[in-house]
Amino acid sequence: MNLTRRQAALSLAALPFFAQAQAGGTLAAVKQRGSLRVGVTQAPPWYSKDPKSNEWSSGVGVSMGKAMAAALGVKFEPVEVTWGTAIAALQGNKIDLMYMLDATPERAQAVDFPATPLLFYSLAVLARDDLPVKAWADLNNEKVRIAVPQASTMDKFVSETTPKAQIQRFPGNPEAIAAFQAGRADAVCLFHPPLLAARQRLGAGKIVVPTPVRSQPSSVAVRKEDDKAFVQWVDQAIAGHYKSGQTQKWYEEFLVGFGLDPKAAPPVMKEMLGS
């Protein structure tokens, strides 16, 4: 195919997307299609596929996606992606939104984010059951061994906050968790979501959000387009779920189904976290 024909083919392939954008953008397209396409990836507690039914049946993103689809009078359509391909899937009109993508300046150049945060997650530690931890200061002890992923946000934070501790640096999350499991570290420091799965798998240790709490918001990525009706609707929807406590409820429901006590896990509402 020569260049002229290829350009023509690409232009024709793009016509449906531009046509729907001109006709009312993503919100109008969702209603016309009859489905809300939500990007999903195996990442408890946000998304979880049932291995028996092979259906995306649980997780905060699944519950919220189903509720938002129902509010629009359409069906929930999960589309499997990865964290790394979600932005491209939005740009390629393969999905309509993706929950739990933080609104970084770099991502904001490629996609849009609602003004309201989706939820908050916190820097936490999975510590030995007998290790007294309430504040970060409790870990600032030369006898305490803390495992972190090297050159990460966690590495920088504990290096500055607990300089007296023995900080053990590993290539990634799995290696840091493995060090804790093997007893080579007294605590592993990560943002709390991956610690939930680790605690459930290990069957030991306690998850603590030490004070002062360091939390950050996560968001929902949507396609960047001139018509802002969809991103504004998403903003109103997630704000309503958050303020009513429904987002926290979905989170706790997943934890129970995952075999964890919600009281032992950090909340996802900033107002419920200690200061």
Domains recognised in the chain with CATH numbers: 3-118+219-267 (3.40.190.10), 121-215 (3.40.190.10)
Environment class of 186 (CB within 10 Å of its CB; exposed 0-12, middle 13-18, buried 19+): buried
The mean per-residue pLDDT over the stretch 181-200 comes to 91
pLDDT tens, position by position, 139-166: 999 999 999 998 888 898 999 999 999 9
| pLDDT (0 to 100) of residue 275 | 53
pLDDT tens, position by position, 38-73: 999 888 889 989 889 999 999 999 999 999 999 999
Average pLDDT, the chain: 89
Portion of the chain with pLDDT greater than 90, in percent: 67
| pLDDT (0 to 100) of residue 45 | 87
CB atoms < 10 A from the CB of 208, how many? 22
| pLDDT (0 to 100) of residue 236 | 98
| pLDDT (0 to 100) of residue 32 | 97
Q: Are 169 and 128 in contact (CB under 8 A)?
A: no
Top pLDDT among 23 and 96 is at 96
> Where would I find the beta strands (DSSP E) of 128-223?
145-149, 166-170, 187-191, 206-208, 215-218, 220-223
Type of residue at 166: Q
CA distance 92 to 113: 17
Residue 122, CB-side half-sphere exposure with 13 Å CA sphere: 22
Helix (H) or strand (E) holding 206: strand 206-208
The mean per-residue pLDDT over the stretch 32-40 comes to 97
